[in-house]
Amino acid sequence: MLAKIDEQVKNNPVVLYMKGTPQMPSCGFSSRTAAALVETGEKFAFVNVLADQGIYQFLPKYQDWPTFPQLYIDGELQGGCDITLELAESGELKALMAAANAKVDQA
């Protein structure tokens, strides 16, 4: 299962592990995080951890981050809801996402 998570993180420039989906979030933290990503206008992938019990169980062990949501940009854990909202407020979130997406677009 950790290999599957590693593949998702490395094969998506921006991936959000969340409870629910951006359109139908299942918790307030996931809702606010997904909304911040949507507001950037940048592309991102998401994984509904409630739909895959293996990911739900093993993701906290992947980068030793115990809670959801978890945002990865360019293969690196950025953090959860609070950190994502801080990045969005500073404008850094859009810049990080754009840079990660640009690498894929150039490939």
Sequence ranges of the domains in the chain: 1-96
Quote the pLDDT of residue 26: 97
Domain covering 1-96: architecture: 3-Layer(aba) Sandwich (3.40)
Express each pLDDT in 70-107 by its tens digit: 999 999 999 999 999 999 999 999 999 999 999 987 76
pLDDT at residue 107 in the model: 64
pTM of the model as a whole? 0.96
What is the C-alpha to C-alpha distance for residues 8 and 28, in angstroms, rounded to an integer? 24
Alpha-helical segments (H) within 1-107: 2-11, 28-40, 53-62, 81-90, 92-106
To the question of whether residue 27 is assigned a binding role by annotation, the answer is yes
Task: Check if the beta carbon of residue 81 is closer than 8 Å to that of residue 33.
Answer: yes
Q: What is the pLDDT of residues 14-59, one digit of tens each?
A: 999 999 999 999 999 999 999 999 999 999 999 999 999 999 999 9
Residue 61, Cβ neighbours under 10 Å: how many?
12
Q: Residue 104 has what pLDDT?
A: 86
- pLDDT number for residue 39: 98
